[in-house]
Structure formats: C-alpha cells, structure tokens
Amino acid sequence: MIDPPGERGVRRIAIGLALLSFLSLAVTAWIFATVSREQEILNQIIKHLPSSDLKIANELSGDLSLQNGLLALLVLNVTATAVAFVFVVRAYLSSEKSLADVKVLSSDILASMDAGVITTDLSGTITSMNASGRSLLGWDHRHDSTDPNGTRERPGIGSKIAEISREHGLLAEICDESRRTIQPIRDRDYTVNQDGLAKTLRAGCTRLHNRGGQQIGLVIHVRDVTQKALIEERLRRMERYMGLGSLAAGLQHEIKNPLSALALHIQLLCERLAKETGDAEVNESLDILNTEVKRIGAVLDGFRNYASINDIGRSPVDVNLLIEKLVRLLRPQAEGQNVKIRVEPSREMLGLIQADSVRLEQVFLNLAINAIASMPDGGVLRFVITGEEKTIRIDVIDNGNGIPDEIQTKIFDPYFTTRREGTGMGLALCDKIVRQHNGNLDFETSPTGTTFTVVLPVHHD
C-alpha cells in the first residue's frame, strides 16, 4: 500500500526529529561524561592543594556538581519530549489513516450506488459526480479528456449544471427551485433517449451543508425508474380495466335489449314504407337510422367482448404454427398495401404454451392490422419469435412513422382510436387477453417504426 503524500512528509519529519533527539542525547551524554571526568580530576587536585586554596576549589567543585544536575535534568527533558513527540506523531498518523479510510469508504459507497449523486457549489458548478451519475448523464470513461499537463479531465466537473444536454434540463430547473425554497425536491420524472431506448429518470435535489450548518452547495440525485414507471403504468391500466369491465357489462345489458327492439321496428317500418311510398328522402332517413343502430350494436358487441373475457379456454399451442397461420391470412391484405411480411422463428426449440389459440390469434391479428395501417406507403412487417427463460417473446415490428408522444399513454385505453373506421377496442382487448394468459404486452416506438412485444409463459408437459 502506497502512503499518501501528506503521510510520507509527516514520517520524514518524525524521523528527522528522532535523529535530532538521539544526537542531542549523545552530545548530552558526552558532555556529562566530560564533566564527570573533570569532577574526578578536580577531586584529585583538591587533595594536594594547601588549605588557603580549598575555598576556591570547593566552589569550583560545587559548580561542576550543579552542571551535572542540570545535564541530568536536560537528559530527562529531552527524553520526555522525544517520547511525547513519538506519541503525538503516532496519534496524528492514526487519525490520518482513519480519515483516509473514511474517505475511501465514502468513495466506495458512492461508486457502488445505482443512483447518480451530483454535487454543485452555490453558483451551480458541478464539483463531484459518482460513476452512476456519469452513466445516467451519458458520460463514461470514453469521453474523458486530458489537459496539456497530462491530467485527466472528467466531463461535467467544473462546468455548470445548466450546461448539461437539453434532455437533462430538468436538473437545472430543480436546482433553481431549490435555491428559491427551503424544502427538498423529490421525485421529478423526465424522459431521455440513450442508445435508441427511452429511459425514465427520477431526480431530486437537496441542499448541501458543512459541519457549521452553512449551505455550501446542492446535492442532486438521479435514478433510473424505467421499469418502475412501466409497472406503475400497467397498474393504472389494470385499475381502469377493472372499472370499465363492470361498466361494459351493465351497458350491454341495459341497452342491448331495447336497441334490438328498435332495430326490429325500423326494419318493419322500412318494409312497410317501401310498399306504400316511394319517397327517396324517407328511404334515405330510414337507411341512416338502420346504419346507426347497427353501429351502436357493434359498439355494444365490443363492450360485451371486453366484459365477457373472464375465463379463457386453455390448450397446448405452438406459437410458430399460430404465427404462420396468421401470416397466410394476412398476406393478401398486406400485398394490396405493398407491405411485405417476414417471419423470423426462434432457432431454439420452443415449448408449448397453455393458451386460448383463438384469443391469441385475435391479439396478433389486431397488432398486425395496426402495423399495416401505420405503413400506408408500404413497408415491412416482421414477426420475430424468441425463446427466453420460461417465456416466449413475440415482437411485431413495423417501419412506419411511430406513435406520437402525446398519445402513447392512451393507446391501451378502451375506445381511443386515431382512425375513423376504428372502434378503439383493439389494443384494449389485446392487453386484457395477454394479461389473462399471465403475460405482458408492451411497446417501443420511434419515428422509424414501432415494436409491440408480447411475452407469454411457457408450460412444459
């Protein structure tokens, strides 16, 4: 393990001071030995001095004794100082190591988080960003650059939060809002496009304070909630279906009987007036009445179909054979609109699924008809079948103009349609049938085409 530069400097100083202490002790010991030797010599001289010089000799002997005492005290002071300094240095190095460990641990925690964490100063300049933040913002190591001094520069560090791409403009907005308010900002969703895929990100912002409680910047956190957003959308869709199913059953029961009686009397009236009068306007009005009554009946039949799919029959179904049969049925209509159909079956052996073949055929037929309608100038309709773990995935892919952003959340709603001849029940019924097979129906769209994906569980015999 390589010591940090600060720790290496402290160790050099400690070694230098230790050597200086040992040198001081050596010099002190040498002086102490010299003084002791002088004391012995003085004692020998005193024995041979006349009595008149003894007073001066005794004073000199006392001075040497005092010097011995001072030298001993100096030795003790130097030793105590050296020992104390050693303990101080050890404590300092220990605290430095603890601080380094804490920094490493905090860095590891931030690097291991699946949420992006970005910090800025008070002016909105980015000061740090963890690995997940760089990934979610589309910055990875491939975009790192090197300055003229050879130091690696990380994109975003040192730049303004408002300088991030337009897709992430919400981050600058919540930062501005956080500066104006004192409340933390949470759960602001926005959509970005990364590698051709739409992702839903959820962002928040809180104030960053130092130990003194002073605000020194902002902390922005970003999470990828694409899968969670899809699940939430499915739950909302299921809630709508639960209420609409009961409504459909009630309307079908209350309106169908009087509507049938009305249709019968209109038919009788047409037959009677056809014999008694040749008024063209009357006949036209009766035709309009008859047509509208039939249209209302078709709407009610859609209600009935939507409400009556409570239990489905199940039998072994080969998805490859089901799609091949559907393609034979669709080919004349597709060729009439200059649309080519391609089937890409799975290269692996797929298991049979326990399903209602008639209902599943209705699902893929509706998806295929919608795909053909989205390519009025011709194109290619592809069925891609793949086997996954315990599931079969069927992708219905067109190269039309895609689904506009403003209606993407509505396409599974009953009676929502963008076509004059459509009833708006096709995708709603498809979604309900797939869910009754314990599967999922989702889609991805772009200006170059749309892919509807049906995932169904496999039941092995």
406-444 tens-digit pLDDT: 888 788 877 677 766 666 677 888 888 888 888 889 898
Note whether 292 and 328 are same-domain residues.
Answer: no
Residues 261 and 382 in one domain: no
Residue whose structure tokens are 């590698």:
195
Domain end: 111, 127, 153, which one? 111
Q: How far apart are CA 367 and CA 452, in angstroms?
A: 7
Partner residues linked to 223 by β-bridges: 202
Percent of the chain with pLDDT over 90: 9
**In this structure, are residues 354 and 459 in contact, taking their beta carbons and an 8 Å threshold?**
yes
Domain count within the chain: 4
pLDDT at 59 (0 to 100): 62
Better pLDDT: 85 or 253: 85
- Average pLDDT across the chain, whole number: 76
Cα 337 to Cα 377: distance, rounded to the nearest angstrom: 7
State whether 326 and 413 are in the same domain.
yes
Token readout for 24 is 């001081």
CA–CA separation, 379 and 394 (whole Å) = 19
DSSP string computed for 239-285: HHHHHHHHHHHHHHHHHHHHHHHHHHHHHHHHHHHHHH---HHHHHH
Of the residues 194, 209, 224, the one at which a domain ends: 224
Per mean pLDDT, which range of 7-16, 215-224, 356-365, 397-406 is the poorest?
Answer: 7-16
**Pair 428, 320 in one domain:** yes
Question: Do 381 and 249 have their domain in common?
Answer: no
Domain end residue (candidates: 224, 248, 281): 224
Mean pLDDT along residues 267-281: 72
Same domain, 148 and 267: no
Same structural domain, 216 and 235: no
CATH number (domain holding residue 237): 1.10.287
Q: Give the pLDDT score at 63.
A: 62
CA dihedral 419, 423, 429, 430 (to 10 degrees): -20
Token pair for 299: 């709407």
Q: Which two tokens stand for residue 243?
A: 């209420």
Range of the domain at 173: 114-224
Of the candidates 169, 203, 210, the residue with the CA atom closest to the CA atom of residue 189:
203
Cα angle at 164 between 156 and 182, to 5 degrees? 95
Residue 41, pLDDT > 60, answer: yes
How far apart, in Å, do the first and last CA atoms of the chain sit?
A: 59
Chain center to CA of 137: 10
Binning pLDDT at 50, 70 and 90, where does residue 397 land?
A: very high
Q: Among 102-111, 154-163, 236-245, 280-289, where is mean pLDDT lowest?
A: 236-245
Q: State whether 288 and 253 are in the same domain.
A: yes
Report the CATH number that the domain containing residue 419 is assigned in CATH: 3.30.565.10
Give the up-direction half-sphere exposure of residue 262: CA atoms within 13 A in the CB hemisphere.
15
- Label the pairing between strands 315-317 and 215-224: unpaired
Residues 336 and 438 in one domain: yes
CA–CA gap between residue 112 and residue 108 (Å, rounded): 6
Q: How far is the C-alpha of 439 from the C-alpha of 435, rounded, in Å? A: 5
Specify whether 31 is located in the same domain as 75: yes
Closest CA to 69 of 79, 77, 59: 77
pLDDT of 166 > 70? The answer is: yes
- 134 & 211 share domain: yes
Q: How far is CA 127 from the centre of its chain?
A: 21
* Sequential DSSP letters for 173-234: HHHHHHHH-SS-EEEEEEEEEETTEEEEEEEEEEEEE-TTS-EEEEEEEEEE-HHHHHHHHH
The count of other CB atoms within 10 Å of the CB of residue 129 is 22
**DSSP for 305-329, written as a single string:** HHHHTTS---EEE-HHHHHHHHHHH
**What CATH code is carried by the domain that includes residue 148?**
3.30.450.20
| 239 and 197 part of one domain | no
